[in-house]
Amino acid sequence: MKNPKVAIIGAGPAGITAGLALNKAGINVTVYERAEEITPLGGALILNAVGLTILRRLGVDVEDIYNGVHAEFRRWDGKVRARINVSEDLLAQANASGWQSGMMRKELYARMLDVVPDDLIVAGHKFERYEETADGIKIHFANGKVEHADVLVGSDGIRSLVRGQLFPDTPEPKKLGIAIWLGWCEADEIDVKQCVIQHDKNYQMGYCPLIFEGKKCFEWWLVEEYKGEKPPKDVPAYVRNLVGHFAAPTQEIMSRTDTDAHLFRWIVEYIPGLKQWSKGRVTIMGDAAHPTSPYAAYGAGMAIEDGYFLAKFLKEADLTDANSIKAALKRYEDLRRPYTNFTTKFARILGRVYHNVPGPLRSLRDYLLDNVKGTGRKIETGMTEDAEALLKMVLNEPF
Ligand SMILES: Cc1cc2nc3c(=O)[nH]c(=O)nc-3n(C[C@H](O)[C@H](O)[C@H](O)COP(=O)(O)OP(=O)(O)OC[C@H]3O[C@@H](n4cnc5c(N)ncnc54)[C@H](O)[C@@H]3O)c2cc1C
């Protein structure tokens, strides 16, 4: 009897989640990672209650690091412009203390890897190309190895080689026109129960409380327009100078940061929403399918969701049958592509509205946000409506 196999390229959040979920479903699955060791990017990220629910379902213990809070968009002086409200009933059903939580990547990955069975992830395998044969896929790696699979999934990040072969016309990732300084610090005495996203006319300064190694910490970020500028010589002074007028505890959080070790810059890139993700036995997920701007604060979360739903639909398919595989990939794509295309587009637009429009339009934007009821509401609904529906789906349909 044939034991059909799913091969996943890339052990980021998408690949690990899909690997865990498929393994849990009893499907023969291997995740191939180019790095010799699985090491997450540094810094923090924000995960919402959908990600939390999926991770729990897969047995990942994030209870003590999910520090649930709500997000608020504020003016630089503290005036609230929009509040991300999610149904309390829904949160109670999900047993989530708030809609989103800051987390250190390192700790989240460690928790995920804790439940990864031996041999699920094979390191030191850089994907090069695949061949689709009459009865499966032949996968070629840079180390000379060749593996066979019935389904191939590219979760190999923004510069995905799987996507490159599947859809060669996809444009190369482009700079979005914004850059972010990201930092984190320990801050036991600062008591903040929101994820705060504050703007002045030109900059966004945000911070979110999180728990790391049992200690109260904050992640923070400064978003600015980017036109190819080199980083300034004295980065901490540069950043401090830009946010000196922002409401407390902005300065306190920044001054506690070990800027030599815990401050770095991310120049955001994107690709336009794709029209198709799957062909035959091959599909893509995570950043390979929809790299996102931080205005969605949600790239890792969407990668986790992709991995989960892909596994769910493959579990319900007959993986010995090419047509059944194709139908499962279509179900996955039909659910995920419109949602992630909307979210990434919305995030791109927010980024442009806040950082790339000319000065007079920025003043008009701020006038509308501060004086015209309903302007902030667009931010609120754009960020949660579909995500709430997704959480309901995850809660109501056991894996
Ligand atoms: C600085 C920064 C801050 C961020 N902050 C947040 C945040 O606050 N919240 C949030 O939700 N998201 C955040 N994101 C986005 C988030 O990190 C990504 O959206 C998420 O990691 C995507 O997961 P993924 O599994 O699709 O891809 P990745 O995490 O990029 O993983 C891809 C994996 O594939 C491997 N790989 C690549 N090519 C090959 C190959 N040829 N063969 C084999 N393996 C390969 C890579 O080594 C890597 O392990 C941030 C991103 C950055 C860069």
DSSP 91-147: HHHTT-SSSEEEEEHHHHHHHHHHTPPTTSEE-S--EEEEEEETTEEEEEETTS-EE
| Pocket of ligand 1 contains residue 6 by CB under 6 Å | no
Q: Report the separation in Å between the CA atom of 188 and the middle of ligand 1, taken as the mean of its atom positions.
A: 29
Q: Report the separation in Å between the CA atom of 114 and the middle of ligand 1, taken as the mean of its atom positions.
A: 19
As a whole number of angstroms, the distance between CA 234 and CA 175 comes to 24
Secondary structure class of 259 (helix, strand, coil): coil
Residue nearest to atom 2 of ligand 1 (CA): 266
Q: Which DSSP category does 48 fall into?
A: E
Residue 5 CB neighbours (<10 A):
19
| Pocket of ligand 1 contains residue 13 by CB under 6 Å | yes
Q: Report the separation in Å between the CA atom of 162 and the middle of ligand 1, taken as the mean of its atom positions.
A: 15
Tell me which of 33, 47, 99 to substitute to probe ligand 1's pocket, judged by most ligand atoms within 8 Å of the beta carbon. Answer: 33
As averages over each run of 10 residues, the pLDDT of the chain (399 residues) reads: 92 97 98 91 87 96 94 93 89 94 94 96 98 95 98 97 97 92 93 92 94 95 93 92 94 92 91 95 97 77 97 97 97 96 86 85 86 75 81 91
| Pocket of ligand 1 contains residue 19 by CB under 6 Å | no
| Pocket of ligand 1 contains residue 126 by CB under 6 Å | yes
Q: Report the separation in Å between the CA atom of 13 and the middle of ligand 1, taken as the mean of its atom positions.
A: 7
| 252-289: pLDDT as tens digits | 999 999 999 999 999 999 999 999 999 999 999 999 99
Tell me which of 287, 305, 306 to substitute to probe ligand 1's pocket, judged by most ligand atoms within 8 Å of the beta carbon. Answer: 287
Name the residue among 241, 302, 310, 255 with its Cα closest to residue 282: 310
The answer for residues whose C-beta is within 8 angstroms of residue 358's C-beta and 6 or more apart is none
5-46+106-172+271-393 placed in CATH 1.10.274.10: no
Q: Report the separation in Å between the CA atom of 161 and the middle of ligand 1, taken as the mean of its atom positions.
A: 14
Q: Which residues of 366-398 are buried (b: 16+ CB within 10 A; e: fewer)?
A: beebeeeeebbeebbebbbebbbebbeebbeee
- Bridge-based pairing of strands 127-133 and 44-48 is unpaired
Tell me which of 41, 45, 113 to substitute to probe ligand 1's pocket, judged by most ligand atoms within 8 Å of the beta carbon. Answer: 45
- Bridge-based pairing of strands 282-284 and 151-154 is parallel
Instruction: Look at residue 113 in the predicted model and tell me its pLDDT.
Output: 96
Instruction: Look at residue 296 in the predicted model and tell me its pLDDT.
Output: 64
Instruction: Look at residue 347 in the predicted model and tell me its pLDDT.
Output: 82
Task: Note the Cα 9 to chain centre separation in Å.
Answer: 17
Extents of the domains making up the chain: 5-46+106-172+271-393
Tokens 């291997």 sit at which residue?
A: 30
Half-sphere exposure of 297 (CA within 13 A, CB side): 27
Instruction: Look at residue 306 in the predicted model and tell me its pLDDT.
Output: 98
Look up residue 256 and give its two tokens.
């506690």
Instruction: Look at residue 297 in the predicted model and tell me its pLDDT.
Output: 65
Strand-pair partners of 208: 219
| Pocket of ligand 1 contains residue 98 by CB under 6 Å | no
Residue nearest to atom 8 of ligand 1 (CA): 45
